């Protein structure tokens, strides 16, 4: 049976050139077939992960009025209330609430700082909360750059290709709470609708309650079975577009049938706003069709968010794009 593969990343982090190349090859092959992989030997300390899970549980256990003190309806930062995300096709909301952290290293360009995707993070008054999330973000973003270096090696470009394209990144991280499905059944029938992520790659740590599944190459839904030693890595729409469809950005969804509260912590990795996503610059190929025509990364992602966030539509952010 088909299954999402598991890869030991430690030889890429500290191995010989041949070992690093072998890991890059295996990673790239998984991205080509599935768009997903489970990564062990990733180097992020377990105590950093555990501390962030504890911070997430403490935050979501707070009263709604407390959490809404750090809600900014104009941006993709701070508290995102239950049922805020909507599916374009069905208009049904997602059965989750979240807290979103902006990229820790903000650009110097004042024009970029006006945009919602570069907004500062509003932090709640909870001792140790910010420190724990920032430590997790720092570790995960550092790992993401090594994963992208491995992808660059597989694609035959310079290892720092994606780092150069991300000097003014608008990456962001979320901690997410999914109540048991039966608690939200009157409003929605799913934790997160089937979707593809927007950016280059996503790094996800999930708890042991399960619920994440991926649409496999044969058209069946493959469970991403929780592994306490692994994190999930998946390709986003920008990287699929940039590779001219060589890498897959698989549909995935969450349904929390565990009967318990589920928590996950994804980091969404993006390039700089002005990065031109053009297959010619990465794989040396003309666009394979309209879905692969060159775009400006930030403008495309902003438009997609506007279509999917109820609070953004209601607040009508005015800083739309930089021309």
Q: Where are the domains of the chain?
A: 6-315
Q: Counting runs of H as helices and runs of E as strands, what totals does the chain give?
A: 11, 14
Q: Rounded distance, CA 97 to CA 95, Å?
A: 7
> What would the two tokens of residue 264 be?
């996950």
Please give the pLDDT value at position 187: 86
pLDDT above 60 for 88:
no
pLDDT in tens, 122-174: 999 999 999 999 999 999 999 999 999 999 999 999 999 999 999 999 999 99
Identify the band that residue 323 occupies on the pLDDT scale cut at 50, 70 and 90: very low
What is the signed CA dihedral for 104, 109, 115, 118, rounded to 10 degrees? -10
pLDDT at residue number 94 = 85
pLDDT of 91 reads 63
Structure-block tokens of residue 257:
């049938």
CB neighbour burial string for 200-210, b if at least 16 within 10 angstroms, e if fewer: bbbbbbbbebb
What whole-number distance in Å separates Cα of residue 222 and Cα of residue 226? 12
The strand order across the sheet containing 212-215 reads 192-195, 252-254, 212-215, 221-223
Place of tokens 């968010």: 305
Q: What tens digit of pLDDT does each residue of 168-214 get?
A: 999 999 999 999 999 998 888 888 889 999 999 999 999 999 999 99
Question: Do 296 and 275 contact (CB within 8 A), yes or no?
Answer: yes
pLDDT in tens, 54-83: 999 999 999 999 999 999 877 879 999 988
DSSP per position, 22-47: HHHHHHHHHHHHTSEEEEES----HH
- Comparing 300 with 86, which gets the higher pLDDT? 300
In 3D, which of 98, 311, 101 has the Cα closest to residue 191?
98
| CA pair distance 173, 131, nearest whole angstrom | 14
User: Where in 34-190 does DSSP place strands (E)?
Assistant: 36-40, 78-80, 97-102, 172-178
Q: Which single residue is written with the structure tokens 């990795």?
A: 269
pTM value is: 0.93
* Separation between Cα atoms, residue 298 and residue 241, nearest integer Å: 14
Q: What number does CATH give the domain 6-315?
A: 2.60.120.330
105: left (phi over 0), alpha (psi -120 to 50) or beta: beta
């Amino acid at each position: 049976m088909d299954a999402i593969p598991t890869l030991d990343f430690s030889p890429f982090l500290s191995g010989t050139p041949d070992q690093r190349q072998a890991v890059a090859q295996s990673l790239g092959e998984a991205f080509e077939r599935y768009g997903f992989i489970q990564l062990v030997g990733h180097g992020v300390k377990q105590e950093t992960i555990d501390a962030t899970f504890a911070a997430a549980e403490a935050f979501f256990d707070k009263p709604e009025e407390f959490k809404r003190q750090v809600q900014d309806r104009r941006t993709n930062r701070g508290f995102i209330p239950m049922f805020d995300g909507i599916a374009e096709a069905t208009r049904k909301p997602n059965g989750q609430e979240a807290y979103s952290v902006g990229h820790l290293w903000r650009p110097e360009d004042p024009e970029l700082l006006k945009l919602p995707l570069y907004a500062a993070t509003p932090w709640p008054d909870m001792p140790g909360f910010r420190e724990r999330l920032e430590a997790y973000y720092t570790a995960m973003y550092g790992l993401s750059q090594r994963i992208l270096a491995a992808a660059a090696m597989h694609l035959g470009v310079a290892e720092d290709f994606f780092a150069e394209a991300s000097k003014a990144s608008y990456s962001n991280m979320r901690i997410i709470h999914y109540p048991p499905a039966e608690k939200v059944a009157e409003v929605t029938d799913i934790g997160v609708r089937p979707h593809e992520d927007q950016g280059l790659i996503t790094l996800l740590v999930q708890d042991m309650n399960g619920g994440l599944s991926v649409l496999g190459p044969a058209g069946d839904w493959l469970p991403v079975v929780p592994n306490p030693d692994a994190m999930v890595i998946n390709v986003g729409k920008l990287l699929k577009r940039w590779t001219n469809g060589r890498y897959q950005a698989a549909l995935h969804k969450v349904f929390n049938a565990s009967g318990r509260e589920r928590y996950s912590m994804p980091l969404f990795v993006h390039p700089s706003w002005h990065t031109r996503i053009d297959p010619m610059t990465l794989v040396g190929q003309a666009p394979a069709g309209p879905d692969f025509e060159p775009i400006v990364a930030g403008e495309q992602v902003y438009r997609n968010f506007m279509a999917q966030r109820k609070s953004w539509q209601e607040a009508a952010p005015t800083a739309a794009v930089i021309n």
